[in-house]
Amino acid sequence: MKKLVGVLTAVAVVGAAACGSSTGSDDSGPIKIGSVHPTTGALAGVGGLMNDGAALAVADINAAGGISSLDGRQLELVSGDSQGKAEVGQSEAQRLIDDGAVSLIGTYQSDVTQNVASVAERSRIPLVIDVAVDDKILDQGYQYSFRMQPNASSMGTDGAKALAAIEEQTGQAIDRVSYLHIEGSFGDSVFNAFEAEAANQGISSVQEITYPATNFSDATTQVREAAVSNPDVIVATGYYPDGLLIARAVEQLNLNVKGVYGIANGAFDDSSFPGDAGAAGDGVLSANYHFDATSDRVTDIRTRFEAQYGRPMETAAMLSYQAVEVIAAGLNDGASSDPEDLREAISGVSIDDPLLAFSGPIEFDETGQNKNATVIVMQVRDGAIAQVFPEEFATDAIEFPVGSGQ
Amino acid sequence: MTTTTTTSAPTPVQHDPRLKDTWLRRQLITLAIGFVVVAALPLMLGEQAQTVAVRTLIFAVMAVAWNIMSGFGGMFSFGHAAFFGIGAYTGAYLLVERGVSPWVSMILAAIISAVVGTLIAYLCLRYRLAGSYFALATFAFAQMFLLLVQNLEVFNKTEGFNVPILPRDSWWMLQFEKGSPNYVWIPLVILALAVLGTIFYTRSRAGQFVQATRDDETAAASLGIDTMKYRLIAVAASCALTAVAGVYYTQYYFFVGPEQAFGSAVSVEAIVPAVIGGIGTIWGPVIGAAVIGPLSELINELLRNPPAFLEFLQGTIGLDVAAYSVILIAIVIFLPKGIFGTIRERWNR
């Protein structure tokens, strides 16, 4: 059986001949930033956009003269593909660190981010989370993870507050709400926070309806169920495909509601939503973190992005862009490319003029959460996304009630 | 009228003692050499390659476990995620909520998983589910556990568990500095023990009986083999081992959620290496895992730094997934009995 032994050894050796050993960070050549996103698999669309957003940021910073406090050293983006799987995200993060990345950005999905955050923590490499909503990621007491966007529970809370503010502003009573959300930690945590805050805001009944995260191809049943309690508003939390199905089902069933209101909804403020949803999208509201359409800098970045990559730049990609800027600011402030110094510097950054509609500079608290992260409310108007609330970010006035509920 | 007569089953047909010994010796030498080779890996590899090695070893343990029940036992399970998940969650829950050492959890999880698996298999076999119906039933149970965990507060619902990071290495808590070779050696030892167990199991009475039952249940039963009992033994062993892999998964990845533990992708990850390597063979699952585990990593590495003639492919995203699929299809078409199974057949001609 010598042959067998030979085969086995060969297989083992081939299987192990993955990649070289670590190079570590050196003080010459470009400073590497690792990006981990799902660039293949079901989420490849948004993952690819995010990777492009980060690449654009690196190119812009390099074109503007690199990191000035480090004699204009250039940045280099090294990209990894999580395939949407937590284990793969972990080994990709590890690969990028071995490759000499001094900082990471990523990853869009909460469960993958949990894994990557633990890698970053144990490798002592700062991770700037561009998109990942779960509260729990930062609840571990990790020192090396930072997040720019609001977490799930604050979005649920702020979503309820904004709804109450809309009620006050328009004089339209909102007492009964039916809440449709995707199964899983993301939907659960946003909903739980909303429910708690809705009680404080005097919304008398909140009915919860969940739908599966996979093989969800028709929302009619769930929307019909949501209509049973005769709600004033239907609230929805989920991703793009399911959000689109819900909007269509609401239109098909011709429900008598004052409006459809997304919270942390992946569909309702996406620039392709009005076109995909057609009439079903008209007047749909969405409370979410969002790029600031009132900012000239954002408009310029989005224009160049679309020219270069041929697709509109969504909020997720803008967050990846911003994440690279945060790291660059850290490198600049700390005047060092050492990951430890960089972590220290990032924890103390203050970035004015954020690219997202936040009510203040990007600053991280002791858990690594951006203190000033907020949601704003958008609405589909005339086939485009308009910002309608609060006043300081508004590009258009809110229209409420909308649709057939008038 | 009927008195139960216990017919002692014939001993397995292995007349020539020399034949038996050389076979066993060969297996053990192979195992020893393989063990030494893989054990040397962490000393030569970078950290990222090490994560791939660990992932591959976890696959291998699962595949070996799956193979006991489905390869030798002939009961095709499409729901091994259920048992992997029991392990992952038992380990996570006991560690996070009760501070129990993962080593203890491995034993507990193995017992729980074996009991649950035996119960499920008993029900399926009792009602004569066979073939694809049996597979579907196991799949349904895995899905059921997924839903259960997602909705039980005690298991953090959809949030999953994070393993707390300790300030220093601890053998007792199975946590070491990142990149420590122990992370490779521990699953390697588990795998070696699993293969060793399989080697002796296939030669044992229980293993021979279960294979006889797989090949012809009626004949086996008519010879007085208690088919149910020996099948359940195979199931119990398979589920226990899968749970151990689950406990280790949680320890290594520091996070486990419902999808990572009970998702249907996990069941597939147990099956694919065994099918690719050769179902119902001792080395098939191990070889299958060694091929499949690092495959997409190797392809990606090749694409990142391609040789001159592949220059045009540089930076292509998603090619690894495509190549992976093509290789899988090719193996299934050209090596119908799996890599190991087909090669062994050719050699023995």
Closest chain A residue to B38, measured at CA: A12
**Residues of A whose CB is below 8 A from B26:** 1, 4
**Residues of A whose CB is below 8 A from B287:** 7-8, 11
Question: Best residue in B26, B47, B150, B268 to probe A by mutation, most A CBs within 10 Å?
Answer: B47
Q: Mark out the alpha helices in B223-283 (DSSP H runs).
A: 227-253, 258-262, 264-277
Token pair in block for residue B179: 């990149």
What residues pair up with B21 in beta bridges, in sequence order?
Answer: none
Token pair in block for residue A234: 């239907």
Distance CA B272, CA A21 (A): 29
**Residues of A whose CB is below 8 A from B317:** 39-40, 44, 48, 81
Average pLDDT, whole number, for chain B? 87
Digit-coded pLDDT (tens) for A330-357:
999 999 999 999 999 999 999 998 999 9
Length of chain B: 349
Among residues B88, B138, B120, B94, the alpha carbon closest in space to that of B248 is found at B88
Cα of first residue to Cα of last residue in chain B, in angstroms, is 52
Is the bond preceding residue A390 a cis peptide, omega within 30 degrees? yes
pLDDT value, residue A18: 36
pLDDT value, residue B15: 59
User: pLDDT higher for B69 or A402?
Assistant: B69
Digit-coded pLDDT (tens) for B217-250:
999 999 999 999 999 999 999 999 999 999 999 9
Element (H, E) at A101: strand A101-106
Interface contact B46-A20, CB threshold 8 A: yes
In this prediction, residues A358-380 reach a mean pLDDT of 93
> Which band of pLDDT confidence, cut at 50, 70 and 90, is reported for residue B20?
low
pLDDT value, residue B195: 95
Length of chain A: 406
> Which band of pLDDT confidence, cut at 50, 70 and 90, is reported for residue A176?
very high
Give A 36-95 residues with CB within 8 A of chain B.
Answer: 39-41, 44, 48, 81, 83, 85-87, 90-91, 94-95
Question: Best residue in A49, A82, A90 to probe B by mutation, most B CBs within 10 Å?
Answer: A90
> Which band of pLDDT confidence, cut at 50, 70 and 90, is reported for residue A13?
very low
Interface contact A97-B47, CB threshold 8 A: yes
Nearest-Cα distance to chain A for B44, in Å, is 8
pTM over 0.85: no
- Residue B187 CA: distances (Å) to CA of A18, B235, B252: 19, 21, 10
Q: Nearest by CB to B159, which of A3, A13, A185?
A: A185
pLDDT at B150 over 90: no
Nearest-Cα distance to chain A for B222, in Å, is 37
Collapse the DSSP code of A382 into the 3-class scheme (helix H, G, I; strand E, B; otherwise coil) and give the result.
coil
**Sheet strands (E) in A163-306:** 176-182, 205-211, 233-237, 259-263, 285-288
pLDDT value, residue B315: 62
Closest chain B residue to A139, measured at CA: B162
Nearest-Cα distance to chain B for A90, in Å, is 8
pLDDT value, residue A9: 44
For residue A132, give every residue at least 6 positions away whose Cβ sits within 8 Å of its Cβ, in sequence order, or none: A106, A107, A108, A109, A110, A112, A113, A147
**Residues of B whose CB is below 8 A from A136:** 159, 162
> Which band of pLDDT confidence, cut at 50, 70 and 90, is reported for residue A295?
very high
pLDDT value, residue A269: 92
Question: Best residue in B57, B151, B255, B268 to probe A by mutation, most A CBs within 10 Å?
Answer: B255
Closest chain B residue to A185, measured at CA: B158
pLDDT value, residue A164: 93
Distance CA A354, CA A376 (A): 14
Q: Mark out the alpha helices in chain B (DSSP H runs).
A: 17-44, 47-66, 81-98, 102-126, 131-151, 182-203, 205-215, 217-222, 227-253, 258-262, 264-277, 284-292, 295-304, 319-334, 338-348
Distance CA B98, CA B87 (A): 16
Q: Nearest by CB to A90, which of B51, B53, B159?
A: B51
Closest chain B residue to A21, measured at CA: B46
**Residues of A whose CB is below 8 A from B29:** 5
Distance CA B54, CA A16 (A): 11
Interface contact A115-B52, CB threshold 8 A: no
**Residues of A whose CB is below 8 A from B344:** 4
